[in-house]
Structure 1
């Protein structure tokens, strides 16, 4: 007969310890409230909190007289398996996604919310407060991180009154009227990026403080936390490149420490965007395997730790920087991470699937990093492709989506429990017709270069770039691709397929190999069919089964 179990103690978030203790006394004392205490914990705390509760409960049990030791040990074992079963669901619940809307033909918001739900995303990050998106997220069971664009930082920094108006219009109203579960307000987006120079250096922190004050005044200070999504270039390792040498960038070190202390004091996390793809994109000598989670050929050895992938090394560099500055208790969220599927030789379907599958595997397994074993919340970037994004960083910028622009899947992913990616449902398209170069048109026609240039000026031709999915087309097919993208972008308008008598319409799909000739979403039909937002409330876990299990456990405790 076992007499004692040793449980690894996980530190609970600030403010939870006393509540866990109080709920624990209800269970230990066999109170009639016990069956209801545990579902409360299950619904409000993470798996780490629950493990702390089990540890507390078992330690209390083992302080009883020896007569009850055997029963206490059995109950501890029951607790362990119960919480382990519940924790599996919480591992899956750490999955978030970025919902960007820089598209000429965006998916309707209600379809996007259903797409998120169907694929197990229970957290979403918005880059701005878009009314249709927020309304669709109402009563959906999806937690929201609501972004504030960088151009709003200056007015928000200038006056707390401006911040109060913003919170009232974009946070309070959607929580109270629409039932939107807003958990975070992300103030700015990578405001200290080196390429921005000093543009937002003086306004970001004041804007953050004013938004925090506005949330408190609105009575939302405990429910909604502030954060700032920063790029990974705000910290760096020494010349050795070892994570243990990490610290904040010298030009913003004092500012970063002040901001993170403010976040800590107000219960907010630090959000960081990490892009292993960019390491490969920026450095032609970067080892390819090291960009993925299965890399082993070029490890970075830092004392007793061997880093086999750049994500772990990058993330731990931040954790070391926090620790060196006495900020190790601050939680960290991965605000953006992903891999583009087009627009560059290293941005392709194979690499995107490989990276994202490795990322999903880590989330499913609850895997952390060598320096911080607790897995962070992760927001995948992004949900769908966005054909209207700036391509200043590169042609790949429009192809970060896990799905194509219309919610169709690019590749299969194993998402655990036998689930794979599910495409969007209920999407309405324009007529099934394409604009192509006429077979009789002369490829050497003097009007052809200008026509192709015109089409690509007003449509997305990034898939035709070097190493991209349509880069191997011949000259005639290149012209057809450009003509069709323009024709689809302007909603197949009459006369839109007239390029100096070089083009015609066809009902035969000209797609070939890896190159997709698109047909766009019929935005007009979706506008006409728009109906009140469907509620997708509810948990994937059956709460009744949880209650039944806990009641049985409580009965066992009473009997013994």
Structure 2
């Protein structure tokens, strides 16, 4: 009888201590009109998203997360590393950006020092050789001000590896091994995770050159990779285990891997559309919910979906898709069905509430082709300043007529500059209309009221 009671107690103890995967989300703010932070808080709470990875320090909006219990990871971007490269500067940054918000009730749990500092693809121009030393300095400073529980780590892309066909052959690139090993030593000593940014759509097409089906967790092609006793039917598990092998070879087999960014764009790239984005996330979230892990790393995996909303001012040097990672449109409308609770429910996430849209006005081309040099000049001007990525080859608005493409560009510029009448002039080629010029699946958007301006929302005046 005592043995049976002991066994039952052990079972309940195991159930109580069982750790499950969790899913958070990233939020980048490179938009012409940003979502009001209080609206973002509401979206996270309504969708029961427990964690947020801010791609900046969020110093101007961080206090809005006070008392929400949402776990926040903030980022010290590559371009701002100089702000903490000396002890006095590190103290100042920590006090302003971390300690002060925490004292006001913000649940900051992690600081990501740098974003892909060793990249040789997406962020190669921002490569930093002193990231490991700043990482160490930040750790020391946090400890000294009584914030030892706040983790310090760095976000890396899969390009830190010499990627091969088989995960077991993966290793860190030779040119970064020194600072990488220094960073890993710090992670190991402090219990910090290795934060991996991974984008299967790009990895499968540009790096592996495999069938795109391999990017999906529900791969229907039958294509697979056999690596010794391990079988890989999708890129997600293959990428995670490639990193796990590299960590093992570096002498740190037990460092936790957290997926800091993973997602699927909806425009501007082959196979980038709403249907595939919904399919990818559905399969990926089922994978997380199973807690099965990967062949080399079985068990729960923590991940941050990338990203909350589109960023129409993100750099496009590697493709138009860089602006279209959002699960939500920049106006707070969800693009597709996704269940953040990991229960595989077939439903759209919560609509953003409290969005204030600009008036139903659009700017369009008046059709005057008498001076095509002038038309082309103004088209180029509009697309240099505003987001025309959907017009690019393969984009959702690629099939528009000539006049509609000009109108789309004019309207993008007009909306970016808050519908000011003079921004629809274009040397007399533009006209403001109240009839929506949207064509089929190519929407001519109306911007939301900018967070950067003073706005009145629910009786409150918000300012940066």
TM-score interval, smaller chain: over 0.9
Task: Tell me, in whole angstroms, the C-alpha distance in 1 between the residues paired with 2:251 and 2:114.
Answer: 25
Match of 1:485 in 2: 412
| Secondary structure, counterpart of 1:174 in structure 2 | helix
Aligned length, in residue pairs: 455
Structure 1, residues 199-250: CA drift from partner, whole Å, max 9, x if none?
A: 64431011001100110111001x2010011111112345xx2111222111
2:443 paired residue among 516, 520, 524: 516
Structure 1 portions without partners, runs of 5+:
1-66, 534-560
Asked if the contact 2:205–2:212 (Cα under 8 Å) also holds between the matched residues in 1, the reply is: no
- The answer to whether the 8 Å contact 1:279/1:286 transfers is no
What CA distance in whole angstroms lies between the structure 2 residues aligned with 1:528 and 1:435? Answer: 26
Q: Is the contact made by 2:33 and 2:450 (CA closer than 8 Å) also made in structure 1?
A: yes
* Equivalent residue in structure 2 for 1:120, among 23, 33, 48: 48
2: CA distance, partners of 1:219 / 1:73: 41
SS of the residue corresponding to residue 102 of structure 2 reads helix
Query: 2:204–2:214: 8 Å Cα contact kept in structure 1?
Result: no
Matched, 1:470 2:394: no
1:531 aligns with 2:460: yes
What residue in structure 1 maps to residue 239 of structure 2? Answer: 314
Deviation at 1:255, TM superposition (A): 2.4
2:201, 2:212 within 8 Å by CA — same for their partners in 1? no
Q: Is 2:186 the counterpart of 1:258?
A: no
Bigger mean CA offset, 309-318 vs 521-530: 521-530
Q: Is 1:403 the counterpart of 2:342 in the alignment?
A: no
Return the TM-score normalized by structure 1: 0.77
Report the counterpart of residue 71 of structure 1 in structure 2. 5
Aligned partner of 1:336 among 238, 241, 261? 261
Matched position secondary structure for 2:424: coil
- Alignment map for 1:228-247 (pairs within 5 Å): 228-238=154-164, 241-247=165-171
User: 2:334, 2:348 within 8 Å by CA — same for their partners in 1?
Assistant: no
Shift of 1:130: 2.0
Map 1:391-430 → 2, pairs under 5 A: 391-415=316-340, 416-417=342-343, 418=345, 420-430=348-358
- The worse-fitting range, judged by mean Cα deviation, of 424-433 and 265-274 is 265-274
**CA positional deviation for 1:367:** 3.5
Q: Deviations over 1:475-534 (max 9, x none)?
A: 11111111111111110102222233333222222222221110001227862337389x
> 2:108 is paired with a residue of what secondary structure?
strand
Secondary structure of the corresponding residue to residue 214 of structure 1: helix
Q: What does residue 291 of structure 2 align with?
A: 366
Cα shift at 1:267: 1.9
How is 1:90-239 mapped onto 2 (pairs within 5 angstroms)?
Answer: 91=20, 94-157=22-85, 159-176=86-103, 178-195=104-121, 200-221=127-148, 223-238=149-164
Query: CA-atom RMSD, angstroms?
Result: 2.3
Q: How many angstroms apart in 2 are the aligned matches of 1:145 and 1:503?
A: 44
Residue in structure 1 matched with residue 202 of structure 2 by the alignment: 278
Structure 1 residues 197, 338: CA separation in 2 closer, same or farther (over 3 Å shift)?
Answer: closer
Report SS of the residue matched to 1:421: coil
1:342-369 CA-partner distances (Å, limit 9, x unpaired): 1123221122222122222222322311
* Gapped regions of structure 2 (runs ≥ 5): none
Higher Rg of the two aligned structures: 1
**Structure with more helix by fraction:** 1
C-alpha contact (below 8 Å) 1:96/1:121 kept by paired residues: yes
- Can you list the C-alpha shifts for 1:103-160, whole angstroms capped at 9, x where unaligned? 1100000101111222221111112222343111111111011100102224523x12
| C-alpha distance 339-302 of structure 1, shift in aligned 2 (>3 A) | same
Indicate yes or no: 2:464 matched with 1:507: no
CA offset at residue 286 of structure 1?
2.5
Are the aligned partners of 1:281 and 1:346 in contact in 2 as well (CA < 8 Å)? no
What is the TM-score of this pair, normalised by structure 2?
0.92
